[in-house]
Amino acid sequence: MDRAATIINVDDNEHVRYVRARILSRAGFIVHDAATGSEGLKLIAEQKPDLVLLDVNLPDLSGLDVCRRIKSSPNGVAVIVIQISAVAVAAPHATAGLDSGADAYLIEPIDPDVLVATVRAMLRLRQAESDLSAANERLQALNAELQRSNEDLAQFAFAASHDLHEPLRTVASFAALLGKTAQAKLTDTELQYLAFISEGSRRMQALIDGLLTYSQVGQKPKSTQLVDLNAVLPWALENLRERISESGAEISSEPLPSVTGDETQFVHVFQNLIGNAIKYSRPGVKPTIRLNATQKSDHWMIAVRDNGIGIPSEYTQSIFGVFKRLHGNEIPGTGIGLAVCRRVVEAHGGEIWVESTPGEGSSFFFTLPMNSGEREMDRLTA
Ligand code: ADP
């Protein structure tokens, strides 16, 4: 603290008050004296001190009452109160002092150096507290701003992808119409161009759909009920039915937990991870996908393991970014699936990562907080 701190020194004993004031003034503090509780309260209201030294035994009010009144006044919470007892008191008295809101308790006779050091230490502590709360306020403001800009961005992405659908549909349907009506007149090369237009619009459509999903799952989970992941899995498998039967994939799962969150967002996660495990399988090797859940201290870790082509270690981080793909157009995809998984998992308070051996397979792991009932049960049975 740059300016000298102001201290109100409340004690009915004139000599004690004088000595204490001298010690503190010499140490560089601004000191105001008060001989009674009410005089002290009046000075505190006027001077708005940083610290009050408060004798417990005052002629008018008890030190405990004065302390309570200081602490319950609008600006009083920030004022440090050190209670001082003239004689050694039993522990309950000291406890009552601290319970009344005092920040510290000293007992006479107090060594001058100890008094100054205690006052300095308490002021340092208060300064650190106020720095922390100022930093906290700044952080909260930044957070609110970030949330606002995230919402704006999500709204923008939603509106943009929504509005792109219409012109894209026009391009795709007129390309198809042209293909049909002018087929006889067009050369093979021109027909090929039309096919490129149709393929391009189909890919664009997939990208827009992916972005739309990505912008929607970025928000806080829409519903936060207890979701049984054993019921989410069949839903995801149903959405992948064709791909599963075409590839002959074998999918097995150990019992999965129930977690708090948004059911449809969890479907996205399972669907993307299992869909990728099928898509990135090794040629000639039947995809085998195993799911299981392990209980860690206060969260579940869910694993989706495959025996596919694997991911080189230098890409295990970047593949979770939007549009990040390791494979060219030979394997269809938009590069949004894993980014969606990460958004969903993080919005639910978890993390996602991958461990992989190229040529052998990959294991995707994600964590989700345990629901509070389970945590309580664990605590009781520990
Ligand atoms: P997409 O599959 O649409 O390309 P994703 O975001 O789902 O997009 O995945 C990003 C990239 O990560 C993929 O293009 C692929 O290269 C790699 N990848 C994802 N899952 C696997 C997996 N199970 N095995 C091997 N590579 C994978």
Q: What is the DSSP string of 109-139?
A: SPPHHHHHHHHHHHHHHHHHHHHHHHHHHHH
- Does residue 333 have its Cβ closer than 6 Å to ligand 1? yes
Ligand 1 pocket test, candidate residues 280, 323, 353, 363, most atoms within 8 A of CB: 280
How far apart, in whole angstroms, are the C-alpha atoms of residue 171 and residue 82?
78
What secondary structure letter does DSSP report for 327?
Answer: S
Number of H helices, E strands in the chain: 11, 12
In tens, the pLDDT along 280-339 reads 999 999 999 999 999 998 899 999 999 999 999 999 999 999 888 887 777 888 899 999
Nearest CA to ligand 1 atom 18: 276
> Does 240 have pLDDT greater than 70?
yes
The dihedral region occupied by 302, where left means phi > 0, alpha psi between -120 and 50, and beta the remainder, is beta
User: pLDDT band at residue 88, thresholds of 50, 70 and 90?
Assistant: low
Structure tokens at 262: 């948004």
Phi, then psi, of 261 in degrees rounded to 5: 160, -155
User: pLDDT band at residue 1, thresholds of 50, 70 and 90?
Assistant: low
The dihedral region occupied by 101, where left means phi > 0, alpha psi between -120 and 50, and beta the remainder, is left
Phi, then psi, of 357 in degrees rounded to 5: -120, 110
Nearest CA to ligand 1 atom 13: 325
Are 29 and 9 in contact by the 8 Å Cβ rule? The answer is: no
> Does 178 have pLDDT greater than 70?
yes
- Does residue 276 have its Cβ closer than 6 Å to ligand 1? yes
Distance 185 CA to ligand 1 centre (A): 42
What does the pLDDT read at residue 292? 97
Nearest CA to ligand 1 atom 23: 277
376 or 201, higher pLDDT: 201
- Does residue 275 have its Cβ closer than 6 Å to ligand 1? no
User: pLDDT band at residue 381, thresholds of 50, 70 and 90?
Assistant: low
Distance 66 CA to ligand 1 centre (A): 68
- Does residue 325 have its Cβ closer than 6 Å to ligand 1? yes
What does the pLDDT read at residue 377? 66
User: pLDDT band at residue 209, thresholds of 50, 70 and 90?
Assistant: confident
Mean pLDDT of the chain: 90
What does the pLDDT read at residue 37? 95
Distance 165 CA to ligand 1 centre (A): 25
Are 5 and 51 in contact by the 8 Å Cβ rule? The answer is: yes
- Nearest atom within ligand 1 for CA of residue 320: 6
Nearest CA to ligand 1 atom 7: 337
User: pLDDT band at residue 378, thresholds of 50, 70 and 90?
Assistant: low
User: pLDDT band at residue 108, thresholds of 50, 70 and 90?
Assistant: confident
Choice among 160-174, 213-227, 250-264 with the minimum mean pLDDT: 213-227
Side-chain half-sphere CA neighbours of 305 within 13 A: 12
Q: Which residues, in sequence order, are CB contacts of 331 under 8 Å at separation 6+?
A: 279, 280
Q: Averaged over 151-180, what is the pLDDT?
A: 86
Structure tokens at 117: 């050091």
> Does 220 have pLDDT greater than 80?
no
> Does 375 have pLDDT greater than 70?
no
- Grouping H, G, I as helix, E, B as strand and the rest as coil, residue 196 is helix
> Does 161 have pLDDT greater than 90?
no
How far apart, in whole angstroms, are the C-alpha atoms of residue 221 and residue 347?
7
Query: How many angstroms from the chain centroid is the CA of residue 354?
Result: 21
- Nearest atom within ligand 1 for CA of residue 324: 10
Query: How many angstroms from the chain centroid is the CA of residue 46?
Result: 43
Ligand 1 pocket test, candidate residues 338, 355, 362, most atoms within 8 A of CB: 338
Q: Averaged over 121-130, what is the pLDDT?
A: 93
Find the length of the chain: 382
> Does 269 have pLDDT greater than 80?
yes
